[in-house]
Structure 1
Amino acid sequence: MSSVLPACRASRAAADASATAWALAARGGDPDAADHFVRALHGDVLRYVTYLSGDPQTAHDLTQDTFARALGSLHRYEGRASARTWLLSIARRAVADHLRRAAVRPRIADAVDWRTAMERAQPRDLPGFEDGVALLDLLDALPGERREAFLLTQVVGLSYEETAGFTGCPVGTVRSRVSRARATMERLLREAETPSVVAA
């Protein structure tokens, strides 16, 4: 296990360096570099906005919005932070703007109860669907700062140092938030399993 972790870190560092190089080349007007930049980080952005927004239905739109903003402001990117960190900060703002707009927009539905209608329209029999719902429920139970630290380190794969730079808090605080998030999720899982054990 310990021999695998340095290799993973080295691989991620190399991927970050490549994405950053592509971003800087795209800034200089290279369309192929822009394509490589988008492809390299698309999955990370999609995962991040999905979990941060809690809305898988609009995740692709938020991802496109993030890249549109990034490509539009690429001329200001100087490579001081990795392209991944820079892009995720843009994604965070895109999600925040989306949530603000959604909060003031009236909801229109031809059904009496639009929430129930949306829930019924969700896919149910897909492999891993229930696990995904359970994970989203667990993440929703976490306070915002702990959820973000957990997502950035455990889902997106940023290091604690990168997450600290991204969120503007000390590395120790990030470690504490992730540890507390894990503890909360483990406790909630144990509590969820207890009734079924008792019933059995």
Structure 2
Amino acid sequence: MVDEDDRQVTAWALAAGRGDPVALAAFVRATQPQTWRFLRHLLASAETDDLVQETYLRAIRGLPRFAGRSTARTWLFGIARRVAADHLRSTARRPTTVALDAWDPPAAARFENTVVLDALLRQLPAERREAFVATQILGLSYAEAAQVCDCPVGTIRSRVARAREGLMAALEERSGATVRAG
């Protein structure tokens, strides 16, 4: 089911595809925080801002062809997923270094939880991490996540379930205690 917010974002994307600059600005403002979070959780990269920018560059080039067969948010996350995959392929070919002064940690109150979550998510296979982040962190429906990840809904359900199991096992191992799902 598409909610009113997704309808509005999709309407802005369609209008932007027809050349409306105000609609384009509204589309970017409405989707940028979730797009950043999606890429940050997929890659845990210091280059998240650059990857978000690349996502929007590709999306803006594709807006004239966006037909609204899915929500604009789902379409955009599909583009972000491909940007992430391209980034992983390119970084696998070359070593990288990051200066410590370029690292910008989250707010102190959330720092430890963010570090733990990022570490646990990085332990998951990429397909499970994508499905988990899309559904559990960004709140996409399983159907929307299936479109983003280009696979059947049942596969998304399976990947999310296995990701949860993996995260729970990793938490148990990390804490040395039994963690019970609520």
Per the TM superposition, whether the score is higher than 0.5 is yes
Which residue pairs with 2:127 in the alignment? 145
SS of 1:78's equivalent in the other structure is coil
1:171 aligns with 2:159: no
Structure 1 distance, partners of 2:89, 2:60, is 23
Instruction: State the 1:190 CA deviation.
Output: 1.7
Q: Distance in 2 between matches of 1:94 and 1:58?
A: 12
Q: Which residue of 1 aligns with 2:92?
A: 103
CA RMSD in angstroms, aligned pairs only: 2.3
Within 2, Cα distance between the matches of 1:125 and 1:167? Answer: 30
2:167 matched to which residue of 1? 185
Q: For residues 72-111 of structure 1, what are the structure 2 equivalents within 5 Å?
A: 72-107=61-96
SS of residue paired to 2:162: helix
Q: What is the aligned residue count?
A: 177
Segments of 4+ moved more than 3 angstroms:
117-125
| Higher relative contact order (CA closer than 8 Å, sequence separation 6+) | 2
The amino acid across from 1:62 in the alignment is L
Query: Structure 1 residues 21, 46: CA separation in 2 closer, same or farther (over 3 Å shift)?
Result: same
Amino acid at match of 1:142: L
> Which residue of 1 is the match for residue 6 of structure 2?
16
Unaligned 5+ runs, structure 2: 178-182
Which residue number corresponds to residue 65 of structure 1?
Answer: 54
Alignment of 1:18-37 (within 5 A): 18-37=8-27
Partners in 1 of 2:38 and 2:106 — Cα distance?
Answer: 23
Q: What CA deviation, in whole Å up to 9, does each residue of 1:23-49 have, x standing for no partner?
A: 001111111100110011101110111
Q: State the match for 1:154 in structure 2.
A: 136
Structure 1 19/124 Cα, relative in aligned 2: closer, same or farther at 3 Å?
A: closer
Residues 28 and 104 from structure 1, CA distance in 2 versus in 1: closer, same or farther, beyond 3 angstroms? same
Q: d(CA) in 2 for partners of 1:35 and 1:120?
A: 28
What is the rounded CA distance, in whole Å, between the counterparts of 2:106 and 2:15 in structure 1? 43
Sequence identity percentage: 47
Amino acid at match of 2:18: G
Q: Which amino acid aligns with 2:3?
A: A
Distance across 1 between alignment mates of 2:32 and 2:105: 24
Letter in 2 for 1:151: V
C-alpha displacement at 1:140, in angstroms? 1.1
Shift of 1:119: 9.6
Aligned amino acid, residue 85 of structure 2: A
Mapped partners of 1:30, 1:80: distance in 2: 20
Q: CA deviation at 1:167?
A: 2.1
CA radius of gyration, larger in: 1
1:120: Cα distance to partner?
10
Q: 1:103 to 1:180 in 2, by over 3 A?
A: closer
Counterpart code for 2:40:
T
Within 1, Cα distance between the matches of 2:102 and 2:34?
29
> What is the rounded CA distance, in whole Å, between the counterparts of 2:12 and 2:41 in structure 1?
26
Shift of 1:104: 2.6
Aligned equivalent of 2:180: none
